[in-house]
Amino acid sequence: STMDPPKPSPSISSTTPPDKPSFPAITPLPKTPRTFQTPTKRINTGTDLATFLTTTAYRDILLFLLQLNRSLCPRRNPTRPTGPSTTFPLSSVPSTPERGLPPSIARLQTLLAEAEALIDLAPPDPGPRRFGNVSFRKWHELLAERAPALLSKHIPDAVLAFPATPSSEPPAAELLAYLLGSFGSAQRLDYGTGHELAFLAFLGSLYKLSYFSDDTTTTTTTTAAASENAEPTTAAAAPDTSALDRIIVLGVIEPYLRVVRRLILTYTLEPAGSHGVWGLDDHSFLPYIFGSAQLTAPVSSTSDPMPTEGSVRGAPKTGDIVKAAVVEDQRSENMYFSAVGFINDVKKGPFWEHSPILFDVSGVKDGWGKINKGMLKMFNAEVLQKFPVVQHFTFGSLFAWDQDPHAAPVSQSVHAANQPSYNYPATAPPP
C-alpha cells in the first residue's frame, strides 16, 4: 500500500474550485444510532496483520494521518506568490481561549495536564534502576481510576451521548481504551510507537464523534457521509478543515508528546517494539512526520498535493539536526527539532552513533519535502506493518476490523516480511 496521497480524480478537479481540497479525509459521522463496543485486540498472527492492512481501521488511520500532515504544509500567499510563505510553527498556537485557542483544544490540553499532574502522586522509586521504574504502574493505576471522570469532565455530553443502538456500549468505552493505551504499558514499563498510534486513534475517534466540529465555522453536507460504507468522502463536499487539523497537531499532539517525554524521563521507560539503535527513535514517530511537514516547500492551495521535495524559504537545513545550537533554537518551533532535542537531552555521545537512522536522513539533499515523504513511507512500513508494534492496537466501531471495500489486495511479500517467527499467544496485555 503506497503512502502517496490519493490523486484527485479528473472529474473532481475539473468541477472543484481550486481552493477546495479534493483529498479523502475522515469526517464526522452522521448522527444515526450506532453500536459502540469496547475495542479488542485482533492481531494475533502474521495473517491477522495482513488482514489489518485491508480494514477500514487501517484506511482511516492513514487518511487521518495524511490529512493532519497536509494541514501543516507552508502556504504561498496567493496575492504575492513570490513573497514569504505562511508557516505554522509551534508558537503559532494561541496560548489561551481568550487569545483564540479553540475550546475543544483547550479542554484536551487541560486533560493532558491533569494526567501529567498524577506524576506527583506516584513519585519514582528511589535507587538505581537500569530498566523501567515500578512506580510507573502506580501512575498508570491512578490514570485508569481517574480517566472516566477526566473524560466526562472535558468531553461534552453531546459527544459522550452520541446516538447509540439499544445493545451498544457507551461511546466513552472506545475513547477510554485509546486514551489508556496512549501512555505506555504498565506491565512492560515501556513506551513506543504503538502507544503513540493509540493517541492518534483517540483523536480520530473524537473527530468522528464531532468533538471538534463546534470549532469549525463552516458547515458540511452530510449526503456523502450518510452511508456507513460509503467511500471516505472526497472533501469536495466538505469544508476546508486544515486550520482545525493543524491545531490538533500543534495544540494537542505536541503537548501529548511533552507529557510522554516527562513520563519517559521520570520512570525511565524502555523503548517498546524497538529496533534498538537501528530504529528511527526509541519512542516516537509522529513528530518526525509532522515536523518535516512544517518545513516543506509551500503549496498554493489545499488542493495541491503534498510536496515531496524542497523546503520552505528560511527553513533550517536538513543537516542541522546534528548541530546542538540549531536544535536548541528550533525545538520550541518545530516538532522534528523538538523530538531531536529530547534525544539530545537523554543520549550521550556522537549523534551519528546513537541515532544512525536520523543521522542518515539528515543527509537528504532534496529538502524537508523528501524527508516528509520518506517518513510517511517509513511509518507505514515500520509502525503499521510491524507485528510487535501494531499487535497491541485494539478495534471497536470507530476504528473497525471491517473489510474496506476499496482496499488493494495485500501482496505476498507483506505476508512473508511481517509474519512473526511463531504465533504470539493471543492474550491482550493489561493497559
Q: Is residue 415 part of a domain?
A: no
Q: Is the pLDDT of residue 13 over 80?
A: no
Cell 515500520 -> residue: 382
Q: Is the pLDDT of residue 173 over 80?
A: yes
Provide the domain limits for residue 199: 40-275+386-410
The predicted structure's pLDDT at residue 425: 36
Task: Choose the most confident range, by mean pLDDT, from 9-13, 190-194, 367-371, 405-409.
Answer: 367-371
The CB-based long-range contact list for 12-17 (8 Å cut-off, 24+ gap) reads 12/234, 12/236, 13/303, 15/236, 16/236, 16/303
Higher pLDDT, 60 or 275: 60
Q: Is residue 28 part of a domain?
A: no
Confidence of residue 281 (pLDDT cuts 50, 70, 90): confident
Q: Is residue 343 part of a domain?
A: no
Between 109-123, 194-208, 402-416, the lowest mean confidence (pLDDT) is in 402-416
Residue closest to 384 by CA, chosen among 399, 367, 362: 399
The predicted structure's pLDDT at residue 401: 98
Q: What is the mean pLDDT of residues 289-299?
A: 97
Q: Is residue 107 part of a domain?
A: yes
Residue closest to 244 by CA, chosen among 85, 34, 76, 21: 21
238 contacts 30 by C-beta, under 8 angstroms: no
Percent of the chain with pLDDT over 70: 82
Q: Is residue 364 part of a domain?
A: no
The predicted structure's pLDDT at residue 275: 65
Q: Is residue 78 part of a domain?
A: yes
Query: What is the residue type of 189?
Result: L
pTM: 0.86
Q: What is the mean pLDDT of residues 307-317?
A: 94
Q: Is residue 358 part of a domain?
A: no
Q: Is the pLDDT of residue 229 over 60?
A: no
Per-residue CA distances from 9 to 26, 49, 62, 287 (Å): 18, 30, 19, 30
Between 153-162, 292-301, 315-324, 342-351, the lowest mean confidence (pLDDT) is in 342-351
Q: How many domains does the chain have?
A: 1
Q: What is the mean pLDDT of residues 400-404?
A: 96
Q: Is the pLDDT of residue 249 over 90?
A: yes
3 contacts 376 by C-beta, under 8 angstroms: yes
Q: Is residue 151 part of a domain?
A: yes
What distance in Å separates the CA atoms of residue 321 and residue 336, rounded to the nearest whole number?
9
Cell 470507530 -> residue: 398
Q: Is the pLDDT of residue 228 over 50?
A: no
Q: Is the pLDDT of residue 239 over 50?
A: yes
Write the burial class of residue 318 (CB in 10 Å: 0-12 exposed, 13-18 middle, 19+ buried): buried
The predicted structure's pLDDT at residue 182: 98
